């Protein structure tokens, strides 16, 4: 919520504070985010193990970011859906299913990227 007394700088600083609060809530309470952070850690370990290039690191971090952003948006939509209609409703189910499609898209794309980066390297050491 914007405080009308805040100037530009103070307003931006407040927004950053709330944004980091949101990040902390996601990381500490959302199991889907925790799971994706675990996969991100595995990917980072693999990156060091296979000594991937700077471009591959950049693409890998983009893929990790894509999944985390999609998971965060999905969590926010689930929260809104549960708040506005906690009871069972066919439309809430549809909204949640569609929202869940976003991280699924991102995860599938990330798997393809992981395959492009690591399959040739794994073949190389076999």
Ligand X SMILES: Nc1ncnc2c1ncn2[C@@H]1O[C@H](COP(=O)(O)OP(=O)(O)OP(=O)(O)O)[C@@H](O)[C@H]1O
12 is in an annotated binding site: no
Q: Of 3, 79, 45, which Cα lies nearest the Cα of 71?
A: 79
Per DSSP, the residues of the chain read: ---TT--HHHHHHHHHHHHHHHHHHHHHH-HHHHHHHHHHHHHHHHHHHTT--HHHHHHHHHHHHHHHHHHHHHHHHHHHHHHH--S--HHHHHHHHHHHHHHHHHHHHHHHHHHHHHHHHHHHH-
88 makes contact with ligand X (CB under 6 A) = yes
Binding span for ligand X by CB under 6 A among 2-10, 60-68, 91-99, 107-115: 91-99
Exactly one of 51, 56, 71, 79 is catalytic; which is it? 71
30 is in an annotated binding site: yes
| Structural contact between residues 35 and 75, judged by C-beta atoms closer than 8 angstroms | no
Q: Is 79 a catalytic residue?
A: no
82 is in an annotated binding site: no
User: Which parts of 27-46 interact with ligand X (CB under 6 A)?
Assistant: 31-32
73 makes contact with ligand X (CB under 6 A) = no
- The residue among 53 and 104 lying less far from ligand X, judged by its C-beta, is 104
- The residue among 56 and 78 lying less far from ligand X, judged by its C-beta, is 78
- The residue among 17 and 34 lying less far from ligand X, judged by its C-beta, is 34
For ligand X, the binding residues (CB under 6 A) are 31-32, 78, 88-89, 92-93, 96-97, 100
Active site residues: 71
């Amino acid at each position: 919520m914007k405080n009308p007394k805040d100037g530009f700088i103070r307003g931006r600083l407040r927004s950053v504070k709330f944004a980091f609060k949101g990040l902390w809530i996601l990381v500490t309470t959302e199991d889907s985010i925790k799971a994706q952070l675990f996969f991100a850690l595995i990917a980072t370990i693999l990156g060091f193990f296979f000594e991937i290039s700077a471009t591959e690191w950049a693409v890998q971090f983009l893929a990790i970011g894509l999944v985390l952003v999609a998971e965060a948006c999905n969590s926010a939509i689930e929260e809104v859906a549960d708040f506005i209609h906690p009871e069972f409703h066919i439309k809430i189910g549809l909204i949640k299913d569609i929202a869940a499609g976003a991280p699924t898209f991102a995860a599938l794309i990330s798997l393809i990227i992981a395959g492009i980066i690591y399959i040739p390297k794994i073949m190389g050491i076999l």
